[in-house]
Amino acid sequence: MARIEDYTFGSVVVDGRQETGDLIVLPGRVVRKWRREKGHRLAVADIEEVLDELPERLIVGSGASGMMRPKRKLLALLEQRGVTVEVLPTAEAVRRYGELDPAHTAAALHLTC
């Protein structure tokens, strides 16, 4: 299981490795250089690659200022699949992830904005 150790604007440390691009942390792997079709909108297509790997909780780090927002369609789909979603500014999302069991939690982190 991945550990998210630290976050500052534009950078996060995952398992001792500094990351400078947005990423998704799953129980079994880390998806680096994660990009969204529309930078500050989180849509189904943006997480399609990992949809079947999501555990029961997804923490969305919406950026330092909370600029990234999930679309309603995505939230409805995740709810339908039994995935609880928490959307928090990235610093808070990293703290929240650390409080939870990484075997049952994923994090999608936008590192700037």
Token readout for 98 is 């650390």
Token readout for 53 is 């790997």
For 17-34, b where at least 16 C-beta lie within 10 A, e where not — what string?
eebeebbbbbeeebbeeb
Token readout for 73 is 């369609």
pTM: 0.96
Task: Answer for the pair 34, 22: CB distance below 8 angstroms, yes or no.
Answer: yes
pLDDT of 52 over the 90 cut:
yes
CATH topology of domain 4-109: Hypothetical Protein Mth938; Chain: A, (3.40.1230)
By C-alpha distance, which of 5, 8, 4, 3 is closest to 112?
Answer: 8
Give CA–CA dist 9/77, Å, rounded: 30
Computed over every residue of the chain, the mean pLDDT equals: 97
Length of the chain: 113
Q: Map out the domains of the chain as residue ranges.
A: 4-109
Q: With cut-offs at 50, 70 and 90, classify the pLDDT of residue 39.
A: confident
Token readout for 39 is 């930078």
Q: Tell me the pairing of strands 69-70 and 84-88.
A: unpaired
pLDDT of 7 over the 90 cut:
yes
What per-residue confidence (pLDDT) applies to 79?
98
